[in-house]
Amino acid sequence: MKNVYFVQVGFAFDKSVYLPYATGTIAAYCKSIPEITEEYAFPEIIFRRDSVENIVEAMDNPYIAAFSTYVWNVEFNKALAAAVKKKYPGCIIIFGGHSVSERMEFLDEEYIDILTLGEGEETTAALLLALKNGEKLSDCCGIAFRDNDGNKILTPDRCPGSVENYPSPYLSGIFDSIIEKNPDLMFDTIIETNRGCPYNCAYCDWSNHKKLRLFPMEKVKGELKWLSEHKIEYCFCADANFGMFDRDEEIADYLVELNSKTGFPKVFRPCYEKNSAERVFRISKKLNSRGLDKGATMAYQTLCDDALKNINRKNLTMEHFSSLLSEYTKANIPTYSELILGLPGETAESFCKGLCKLLRAGQHNSISVYYCELLPNAPMCKPEYMEKFRIEPMKVSFNHIHSASGKKDGIPEYSYLVRSTSSLSRDGWVYANLFSICLQCFHSLGLLRFFAIYCYRALGIDYYDFYTKLLDFCLKDNGLVGSLFRDIKQKLDGSLEGEWNHSNPVFGNVTWFFEEGLFLEMLYNFDEFKKLADGFLNRFNIDGKIYEELKKFQFNAVKKPFESEKRFECGYGFLEYFHESADSKNSQPEKRKTTYIFKAKEKYEDWPRFAKEIVWYGRRKGATLYTNDISMIEAVSE
């Protein structure tokens, strides 16, 4: 029997790691074909990022080593593949996955023999059969290789097949031994209920094919039941558009049923379909009834019309967006929005003002900003596209947030990010980053959210002006906040190492997004933060009495460790005022003496656990503020 080793390594998040779903699906498919299992044996999938030497030493005469390749493991895969080839020169090295493109760059490495492109199940099986039967590789669709003269050969695309008969890696036992042999790990999982995407967003490599195919409902429910029985806490749904189909509500119902019976899975994280608002709302409401979803995604990516045109995307109107937010708020369902910085057509000003448009529409709970990354199979990565929009890429060390494990093996991974375009200068990119970090820290995470809303509604100060002034103030501050912001600016200005994160052992052995690190540092140094806030807010000439009362409400609303209950009096009905769904101008909170009681659902006795569960896990749910969950609040008015 010839040994076929599948390799899919990833980073560990604290003590959790993903089961190798991509290679698991391919292994399950190949093992379902008798002609393949007569010839090949499939040892356990290599999924832990161990040392290269240890992995090679544990291999037993590999005939094939097949690597699932994406941005977080490209360099590790190359190092391991080279080591395998050195020890076993006859081993056939295959690279597949999202980082493998038709440009065939990986074939520049002499130790890599064959590439598989697109979906892996049928292509890998066909390749194994071709090798078994001595057939010409040129007759195998969906691969690339070098011929005897060293020329790169790209075979025709393989049309995506039906997924109805694809076996499940969970139900076929592919992962059983991995779980049994690693009792020290918590396993996160991925499932698909469908495959494909009808859209063609230029920045995305989610699907190479527009054809949408549904996995059988029996398989989907079987896999979810497997997760529940194996006490899997976290499940990422790899559908590009969950909620697109009527049956997705049935899947949500089944998840709620499983969670009600066993408590697992605890989190089901989908990427929602943006044009099925009513169905997505119903699904989100069901999942949130059991705490299964971190919140509903209301992604925009950009609010710049030129950028939208350039990336082939359409968005909901702001009016529709605002009305949807109102419905989610009434149902006590958290929502979050996402933007991408660096899309062609976007300017620094349009990006910053786009963030503030979301605030004006009522998105106060959570906004996340991501770097625009050049993914090998995305339309944006094509040379003609990059030339058209004068995209300047930069290669930086892969910034694996919430993980400290990537540096241990000395093999850095890299990302290719958009540093500038014809519409966005390098300096503009840095400024837009700083603005978004400031807004996310002080507004989305909540440190000054209520002051910003009050200034907008009562004083007519636009969010853009508020946060522009706040960023300038922070950069000039002579204390902790100023030093933190200047450090961030220096990293963004000159560093190509990709160390764009914050770390402090006080908050655990993980790295944080800049805005998360700032938030935690200001909680830890809360008295200094309050002095900073006073120094900044005094410029707005807020009436003295309401200013002091609003400070009391704002600072008590922010969660901190080591507290279980807060009780205080305010002279105004702030809770109702800040829970209004629309940002109506020229409005004032009702003058009414009110006793507020904020009750923590859990008292955190240490900073690392608080940081992990409230900031990392809870950010999108708005967990950093008591006021985002009305079940934690009592308000008694006189």
Q: What is the pLDDT of residues 101-116, one digit of tens each?
A: 999 999 999 999 999 9
Q: What is the pLDDT of residue 297?
A: 77
Q: What is the pLDDT of residue 255?
A: 98
Q: What is the pLDDT of residue 405?
A: 43
Continuous segment of H or E residues that includes residue 87: helix 74-87
380 or 294: whose pLDDT is higher?
380
**CB of 163 within 8 A of CB of 211?**
no
Average pLDDT over residues 249-262: 97
| Nearest Cα to Cα of residue 286 among 300, 262, 270 | 270
Residue 352, class by beta-carbon neighbours within 10 Å (0-12 exposed, 13-18 middle, 19+ buried)? buried
Which residues, 6 or more positions from 261, have their beta carbon under 8 angstroms from its beta carbon?
228
Strands 40-41 and 92-96: unpaired
- Output the CA–CA distances (angstroms, integers) from residue 352 to 342, 420, 433, 439, 501, in the order listed: 12, 16, 9, 9, 21
Alpha helices in 311-380, H assignment, sequence order: 318-330, 348-360
**CB of 493 within 8 A of CB of 480?**
no
Which residues, 6 or more positions from 530, have their beta carbon under 8 angstroms from its beta carbon?
551, 555
Alpha helices in 203-276, H assignment, sequence order: 217-229, 247-262
Which residues, 6 or more positions from 516, have their beta carbon under 8 angstroms from its beta carbon?
441, 445, 502, 615, 616, 619
Per-residue pLDDT for 542 more than 90? yes
Which residues, 6 or more positions from 541, have their beta carbon under 8 angstroms from its beta carbon?
none
Per-residue pLDDT for 406 more than 60? no
Long-range contacts of 317-321 (CB under 8 A, 24+ apart): 318/357, 318/361, 320/277, 321/361, 321/363
Per-residue pLDDT for 454 more than 90? yes
- Beta-carbon count within 10 A of 3 CB: 16
| Nearest Cα to Cα of residue 27 among 118, 94, 141, 121 | 121
Which residues, 6 or more positions from 470, have their beta carbon under 8 angstroms from its beta carbon?
438, 442, 448, 536
Could you tell me the two tokens for 218? 């029996």
Cα gap 249→247, rounded to integer Å: 5
- Output the CA–CA distances (angstroms, integers) from residue 82 to 20, 53, 111, 114, 434, in the order listed: 21, 11, 6, 14, 41
The helix/strand/coil state of 186 is strand
Beta bridge partners of 268: 235
**CB of 537 within 8 A of CB of 547?**
yes
Cα gap 83→624, rounded to integer Å: 46
Cα gap 432→418, rounded to integer Å: 13
Q: What is the pLDDT of residue 408?
A: 58
Cα gap 577→591, rounded to integer Å: 11
Give the tens place of pLDDT for each residue, 580-601. Answer: 755 666 688 999 999 999 999 9
Cα gap 326→362, rounded to integer Å: 8
Per-residue pLDDT for 220 more than 80? yes
| Nearest Cα to Cα of residue 313 among 399, 366, 268, 372 | 372
Cα gap 522→512, rounded to integer Å: 14
Give the tens place of pLDDT for each residue, 228-247. Answer: 999 999 999 999 999 999 99
Whats the size of the chain, residue-wise? 638
Mean pLDDT, the chain, rounded, equals 92
Count H helices, E strands: the chain?
22, 21
DSSP 8-state code for residue 160: P
Enter the pTM of the model: 0.90
- Output the CA–CA distances (angstroms, integers) from residue 514 to 65, 427, 488, 569, 576, in the order listed: 38, 18, 7, 34, 31
Q: What is the pLDDT of residue 496?
A: 59
Average pLDDT over residues 34-42: 97
| Nearest Cα to Cα of residue 372 among 387, 400, 393 | 393
Percentage of residues of the chain with pLDDT beyond 90: 77
Q: Which of 342-346, 544-548, 630-634 has the lowest mean pLDDT?
A: 630-634
Q: Which residues of 129-168 are buried (b: 16+ CB within 10 A; e: fewer)?
A: bbbeeeeebeebbbbbbbeeeeeeebbeebebeebeebbb
**CB of 260 within 8 A of CB of 290?**
yes
Cα gap 411→424, rounded to integer Å: 32
126 residue type, one letter: A
| Nearest Cα to Cα of residue 265 among 222, 295, 227 | 227
- Beta-carbon count within 10 A of 212 CB: 17
Give the tens place of pLDDT for each residue, 179-218. Answer: 999 998 999 999 999 999 988 899 998 765 668 999 999 9
- Beta-carbon count within 10 A of 57 CB: 11
Q: What is the pLDDT of residue 208?
A: 58
444 residue type, one letter: S
376 preceded by a cis bond (ω within 30 of 0): no
Per-residue pLDDT for 15 more than 80? no
**CB of 16 within 8 A of CB of 186?**
yes
**CB of 66 within 8 A of CB of 4?**
yes
Per-residue pLDDT for 391 more than 50? yes
Cα gap 264→296, rounded to integer Å: 20
Q: What is the pLDDT of residue 37?
A: 97
Q: What is the pLDDT of residue 497?
A: 60
- Output the CA–CA distances (angstroms, integers) from residue 556 to 162, 302, 627, in the order listed: 55, 33, 10
Q: What is the pLDDT of residue 139?
A: 95
Q: Is the torsion defined by CA of 513, 515, 519, 521 positive or negative?
A: positive
The helix/strand/coil state of 594 is strand
Per-residue pLDDT for 24 more than 60? yes
